[in-house]
Structures are given as C-alpha cells and as structure tokens.
Homo-oligomer: A and B are copies of this chain.
Amino acid sequence: MVRWEPGTQERLHRAALELFATRGYEETTAAEIAQSVGLTERTFFRHFADKREVLFHGQQLFVQAFVEGVDTAPPAAAPIEVVAAALRSAAAFFPDERRSRSRARQSVIDRNPALQERELHKLAILATALAEAFRARGVGEPAATLAADSGVTVFMIAFTQWIREGEERSLSDIAAGVLGELRALTGGSSAPAA
C-alpha cells in the first residue's frame, strides 16, 4: 500500500531546484534528488514523470490562472481590459514569497537550451488557450490572437523584471506598467495629436 505523504512533492521540488542550481541540471539524477531529502527514486517517480517535469508540473494551473482572468472579466470589457484582467489573475499565481523560487527555476532554464525550447512550448500552449478564451467571449480574429499574444509578451517581460535581484514591486504592478507601455507604444504615431 502506498502511503501518500503530504508535502513530499513540495520537498522534492525544493530539493531538485537546489541541486539543479548547485550541481547543474544535466548532472542531477532523479535518484539524487530523492536521496537528498531521504526519499527513494521510486517515490520521486510517483510524483514526477521525470526530472524535467519538476520544472513544468504547474503548467496547467499556470495556464488556468490566465484563462480564468479572461473568462471572469465583465462581458462588456474591451479586449485590452480583458488582457489586463488575465494579467492580474496570472500575477496572483506568483505571490512575492514565490519570487526567489521562480528566479531559481528561470536560472536553470536559461542555462539549458532544451529546457528553453520546452519553456517556449509552454508559452505557445498558453497563447493558444488564451486566444481560444478570447474567441469564446466573441472576440474575432485576428484580435483574439493579438490579444492573447500581447498578454503573453507583457507577462514575460514583467516576469523577467519581477525575478531580477533587488526588484521589490509585485508582479501585478510590474505587468500593469508594461501593459501601459505597450499601449503607449502602439498608440504612438507621427500624426498630430487631436
């Protein structure tokens, strides 16, 4: 009989990030992750398909956080306001106490091209799900895809800033600022102001 120990997945997750950071991702095995917190390799594989999945196991919840922001925005909200709502909803998924762990994860990914490709794939899945959520609100194409891709772009720029050493603003505040910059950028033109 398998005893499900609460917190085991969490302990494996922390241990993996620690080993990936100190020893390197390629050089760390699932067995070593498990052993470092007194667990067996078998226990590791009850929680994660492989060591890569330690870095990506929250993907569905991550996508869901964005999509819920779109789904629950007021029916009359303009698409750009729905993007803002999706960003607020996603930011709530990354409270400040998660910042140092997010930074550690990103630093592992930044040093490994295969993980970067996996991360791009995750963002592509996010963009597809978001565009679908916009279409479900009655937003046509290409506006739905533009709104979705813009949301992902703003999120990634904000996230990169959020995990920078010394940054203290919340992800939500940073994302709101970057969205404002996008609006200023795309609203800018050489036409005389009215």
Interface residues of chain A, those whose CB is within 8 Å of chain B, are: 76-81, 116-117, 120-121, 124, 142-143, 145-147, 149-150, 153-154, 157, 161, 178, 181-190, 194
A161 to B142, CA, bound (A): 10
Q: List the number of copies, as a whole number.
A: 2
Does B181 contact A146, Cβ atoms closer than 8 Å? yes
Q: Please give me the residue from chain B that is nearest to A147 by CB atom.
A: B185
Q: Please give me the residue from chain B that is nearest to A84 by CB atom.
A: B189
Q: Please give me the residue from chain B that is nearest to A174 by CB atom.
A: B142
Does A149 contact B142, Cβ atoms closer than 8 Å? no
Q: Please give me the residue from chain B that is nearest to A77 by CB atom.
A: B190
**Separation in Å of the A75 CB from the closest CB of chain B?**
12
- Take A120-B121, A121-B117 as given contacts and tell me if A186 and B189 are in contact as well, using a CB distance cutoff of 8 Å: no
Q: A117-B117, A120-B121, A150-B185 are in contact. List 7 more A-B contacts (CB 8 A).
A: A80-B186, A142-B181, A146-B153, A146-B154, A146-B185, A147-B185, A183-B187
